Chain A
Amino acid sequence: KAGVTQTPRYLIKTRGQQVTLSCSPISGHRSVSWYQQTPGQGLQFLFEYFSETQRNKGNFPGRFSGRQFSNSRSEMNVSTLELGDSALYLCASSAIGNANEKLFFGSGTQLSVL
């Protein structure tokens, strides 16, 4: 069974641009979550999607948005990039997104904002 796939692996953008990251969950998994990892903050929850609906959202500004498609694939968009958005963005999937289901993570997209 293929794992969680995130593309692209690396991205370099400049301030003010926007970026779209993609995540394909494990086959059969319907819940997809997104996390931002920075050295001083650890992993911070961005949002969770299930059956194309956002069920939960973290404390991030509206510049961060996402969506999920009918095949459970998900995209995350960051508009008007700021230097502080430089981070590793991790996607995780689980079967139905119950609170205590373990997460399966992708390898992440490393975003650098110059």
Chain B
Amino acid sequence: DQQVKQNSPSLSVQEGRISILNCDYTNSMFDYFLWYKKYPAEGPTFLISISSIKDKNEDGRFTVFLNKSAKHLSLHIVPSQPGDSAVYFCAAINSGGYQKVTFGIGTKLQVIP
């Protein structure tokens, strides 16, 4: 049972345009959400996070939006760059416990020059 769902396995975007990656979750105990980026042959690296007390968090070209009532979050990348081409994992945590991160299956983003 996937508690964190990324329904789009892949996404292609032109350089300079906006990339929007979506994520849905089912467990209402999740209260902290993260995005990780993974290049081939490397481990995932942390990108951005958001607490459930917020609905938006911004870091440079990356913005994460959280809609708690819909149990939905999205990652916006503006403008998209070829170096952003990677697999993006949505992740969720119940911060009441120790570290046990639930990841989605990932969305492969391709930014076309």
Contacts and interface: CB of A to CB of B under 8 A. Distances in A.
Contact of B99 (A31, A40, A107): A31
Contacts, number: 77
Interface string A100-111: 111111111000
Contact of B41 (A40, A45, A97, A107): A107
Interface residues of A, number: 31
A18 B109 CA distance: 36
B6 to A, nearest CB: 8
A102 B103 contact: no
A55 B97 CA distance: 10
Contacts of B45: 105
A70 interface: no
Contacts of B21: none
Interface residues of B, number: 28
Contacts of B93: 99-100
A56 B89 CA distance: 21
Interface in A27-57: 31, 33, 35, 39-45, 48, 50, 55-56
B102 A99 contact: no
Contacts of A43: 44, 89, 91, 101, 103
A106 to B, nearest CB: 5
Contacts of B44: 43, 90, 103, 105
Contacts of A44: 103
B103 A103 contact: no
Interface string B60-96: 0000000000000000000000000000010101111
B20 interface: no
Interface of A: 4, 31, 33, 35, 39-45, 48, 50, 55-56, 58, 90, 92, 94, 97-108
Given A42-B106, A43-B44, A102-B34, 11 more contacts: A35-B103, A50-B98, A55-B98, A92-B43, A99-B94, A99-B100, A100-B32, A102-B46, A103-B99, A105-B45, A106-B43
Interface of B: 6, 32, 34, 36, 41-46, 49, 51, 89, 91, 93-106
